[in-house]
Chains A and B, each alone.
Chain A
């Protein structure tokens, strides 16, 4: 009964959001559309990172590298064949791929699969490493992916990057992908596999003694994470209309780290909230990069670079003072929301019961 009600409510919410996406797509200016699109893409990547870091407890910092793979798949396969000679002007594209053209959705999936394949290959040695070694190794691999892309001139156009990617700014299209990723990850986390991931996060030795194959499950989480990061990276490329190895410096990963820490490591709805706040927040912080004059007096602190200083201070302050983030490992659920609406002060009285 309650299950059916929750399902109906979820469907209504998604339909409402889709309607909102429709409205934003046709009735608002391009600046707002861009921010909304970026929010959704960041949400996909935040969710993907949460799968390894939050749910499986494996601290990976490779998201920028997997994004780059997805982004380049879109760059390589969606640029119209006729425009390619002008894009690849320094060295022509490798003949094996020069004539392959794909629609965006297919390029996204190809990119996701390539990222997952790379994650599978990297995972074999890397996932055996202890927590913080894993962080360094994945960060290193994300840089290696970037180095390889920079050097593979005839495939990726090297340091010049790929321009003329057919731009994507349809809010509905990105919304559909975001919703699909959200639904899939939510569904997966609530299965036996999701519980196995969480068991590994809580206690590897106990999980193993209960028959959970550590490597297999870590590898699965890592590959899924890479797959979705690849898709997110592909959408990101389509959103920008161009890709360049410099877009995928490992510092890009820190954006998603902030998202999952702010939202709560191990909370899907937390990642969604985190991505909205971080993306919108980064836009808002842009005012700190502009010289500011009040009553004819220049305020000295405001100049380029101040935004990122604030960003990094926020990241640190968050871990130092508010480690669990907004949601912790909890989720937004209809049951709790309805209980809250019926009795807004009830939540103070008893402990929250988590059941998604």
Chain B
């Protein structure tokens, strides 16, 4: 009933506004979810630190623009490069030594890496929230008829689509993309076939982290408070997005991101009394989808070899 009332009372304009918000949040989730899905596809592990890579990228941007006064477009490029390097370094330090270790050890190491980044950020940048630099061009409000929309909200889906297309091109049509697919299909055979596994994994982390950096910049413009724990919730939700889409599947990650983003905005817009439970939504979707389709919406059916 309340849903119906909220829906009826909503003008066409605010409905459009909610949709734009939902799509832009979904796009952000999608960008970050891709990093999870790529790493999971290849190493069969959750990169717990991925959300914290997003957080670090926000701090990098802050330092670039607000502290060192580098022009924002240059900062963006530097941030993307630095974050990609950070991802590669984390893989080298925390995951590579455990390549043949039991899965739980890798998981613990990933949790350790995540916790280390959070604590390091807290120690280096203090726990007090910092304000993400204001970039006038992107954060200004545009009026479309009666609707007020932040420029970035329109910008986010476009960037996501462009990145997704570039990524799909790399994965499907380049040599490195072919190696990535080979490694995710069968790690051992790929190794035997002479693929340099270490390189493929490093590049995967670099690409995933670069996308995380782009996502982080857009996240920061949209939600400008930066704290050391900033990456935790988006990180968990984006992993969930990757899982419900079908882990290892890039399009699935995008689909999952949109489901979660739109779903959350719908809850906040139509069921305001439930908005406190907004963060719970992703976990409930996860349980429901895995219950009916354990490999996710677009995942391939696999059977364990006995």
Contacts and interface: CB of A to CB of B under 8 A. Distances in A.
B113 A147 contact: no
A309 B286 contact: no
Interface in A208-227: none
A319 B123 contact: no
A79 B115 CA distance: 35
Interface residues of A, number: 43
Q: Interface residues of B toward A: which range?
A: 35 or more
Contact of B103 (A131, A303, A320, A323): A131
A133 B243 contact: yes
A140 B127 contact: no
Nearest to A260: B108
Q: Which of B97, B105, B112 has the most CB of A within 10 A?
A: B112
A229 to B, nearest CB: 18
A125 B127 contact: no
A317 to B, nearest CB: 8
B53 to A, nearest CB: 15
Given A144-B280, A316-B116, A126 B287 contact: yes
A337 interface: no
Nearest to A136: B239
B46 A320 contact: no
B80 interface: no
Interface string A230-266: 0000000000000000000001001001000100010
A124 to B, nearest CB: 9
Contacts of A132: 45-46, 103, 107
Contact of A319 (B98, B122, B277, B290): B98
Interface string A171-211: 00000000000000000000000000000000001000000
B104 interface: yes
B243 A309 contact: no
A284 to B, nearest CB: 17
A312 interface: yes
Name B's interface SS: helix
B119 A312 contact: yes
Contact of B280 (A53, A133, A147, A313): A147
Contact of A308 (B123, B283, B287, B290): B123
A102 interface: no
A315 interface: yes
Interface string A114-138: 0000000000011011011101110
B109 A319 contact: yes
A152 to B, nearest CB: 10
B138 interface: no
Interface string A59-92: 1010000000000000000000000000000000
A306 B108 contact: no
- Interface of A (DSSP majority class): helix
Contacts of B115: 251, 254, 308, 311-312, 315
B6 to A, nearest CB: 19
A132 B294 CA distance: 13
Contacts of A148: 277, 280
Contacts of A147: 276-277, 279-280
Contacts of B116: 309, 312-313, 315-316
B276 A308 contact: no
Nearest to B104: A59
A308 B122 contact: yes
B233 to A, nearest CB: 8
A309 B46 contact: no
B90 to A, nearest CB: 10
Contacts of A305: 119, 122-123, 126-127
Nearest to B279: A147
A151 B97 contact: no
Contacts of B236: 136, 139-140, 143
B4 interface: no
B203 interface: no
Nearest to B280: A144
Contacts of A306: 123
Given A144-B279, A312-B120, A315-B111, 8 more contacts: A59-B107, A126-B287, A128-B294, A132-B45, A147-B279, A254-B111, A312-B119, A315-B116
Ordered nearest first, which 5 A-B pairs have the shortest CB separation?
Answer: A305-B123, A316-B112, A140-B283, A312-B116, A308-B119
25 contacts: A57-B104, A125-B287, A129-B290, A133-B290, A136-B46, A136-B243, A139-B236, A143-B280, A144-B280, A147-B280, A148-B277, A148-B280, A150-B276, A265-B104, A303-B123, A305-B119, A306-B123, A308-B115, A308-B123, A309-B123, A311-B115, A312-B112, A312-B116, A312-B118, A319-B108
Interface of B: 45-46, 94, 97-98, 101-105, 107-109, 111-113, 115-116, 118-120, 122-123, 126-127, 236, 239-240, 243, 276-277, 279-280, 282-283, 286-287, 290-291, 294, 304, 306
